[in-house]
Amino acid sequence: MWNDDWEVSVKSFSVGHIDALVQCPGRRLWRFTGFYGNPKASSRSDSWRLLCRLKDLFALPWICGGDFNEILSISEKKGGADRSLSAMAEFQQALDKCSLVDMGYDGQCFTWLNKRQGAAHVQERLDRFCCNQDWHELFPSGNVCTGDFIHSDHRPVVATLENVVRVQKKDKKRGFRFETHWLKDEECHDIVHQSWAAQDGPLESQESIIDIFGRCADRLGTWNKNKFGSIPKLLLNSGMRKVVGDGRSVNAFRDPWVPRPRSFRPISPAPTEGLMVSDFIGMDGAWDIPALSQYFL
């Protein structure tokens, strides 16, 4: 989700990084770095030196994320030959020098796979977000989640600035929000492709790129409304909102909150006793359909 009130200033970039300063309403200036670790193990030390040089440029709340092409422990790899312990230690030392801490994740651990079968199959956690203490204090509810493998050998890894999003909910006009489950529908891919293919000539300015994003968002919004309708509204009309309130005090598997049509039932046995209904409600107040689909049929 983006907001016109945000100001982003790119300070430097290379094949291995993009470094930017971000100013958003109600928060002090902070820093985001998109990072790519060298895919060659023999050159990865150069990446860590780059990261340490970047650290010295600004004394700000800092979040750094991307494909680091390295793991931090043997538990972050499954299959294949063992990773070098010294290489893992070098990665950890670089993070320590930068005062960066791994933010963890919600979802699946392994973010990359080699798409091979049997004994040759390998999975690793190469993608992550890290932040310093100042950034954590600025966004104490920030979290990281991993998505599904879709047209890539990497999972998407998304950092959410929960506090900022909740503040933006007060705006009367709701901004565009891309829904992950759209990616499973070929019509979504067609709309995105057609939106970019309709551009005449080269993209010569930031405004022309923003225009394409805007047209694409409008088309996707219309398509979503026509194809899927308002799922939260249907749930609201069924009386569910009245039953669950904000969902924080209703257990997803013990309390009677789910409507009981024959086609809709919880998976048995309950996979996670501690799940609350609020865990299925997104930060914009809408139901998290992909999360619901994992636990209910």
**How many CB atoms are located within 10 Å of the residue 88 CB?**
17
> Tens-of-pLDDT digits for all 297 residues of the chain?
456 788 999 999 999 999 999 998 888 999 999 999 999 999 999 999 999 999 999 999 999 999 999 999 999 999 999 999 999 999 999 999 999 999 999 888 999 999 888 889 999 999 999 999 999 999 988 889 888 887 789 999 999 886 433 434 444 445 677 777 788 888 998 998 888 887 666 666 666 777 788 888 888 888 888 887 655 555 545 554 444 444 455 555 555 555 444 444 444 445 555 666 666 676 656 667 666 666 654
Do the beta carbons of residue 182 and residue 188 sit within 8 Å? yes
Sheet with strand 123-124: strands edge to edge = 77-78, 123-124, 112-113
**Domains by residue range for the chain, with CATH:** 7-168 (3.60.10.10), 180-228 (no CATH), 231-295 (no CATH)
Burial 267-292 (b: 16+ CB within 10 A, else e): eeeeeeeebbbebbbbbeebbbeebb
Give the distance from CA 161 to its chain's centroid.
10
Backbone phi, then psi, for 126, in 5-degree steps? -95, -20
SS3 78: strand
Do the beta carbons of residue 157 and residue 128 sit within 8 Å? yes
Do the beta carbons of residue 17 and residue 33 sit within 8 Å? yes
The pLDDT score that the predictor gives to residue 29 is: 96
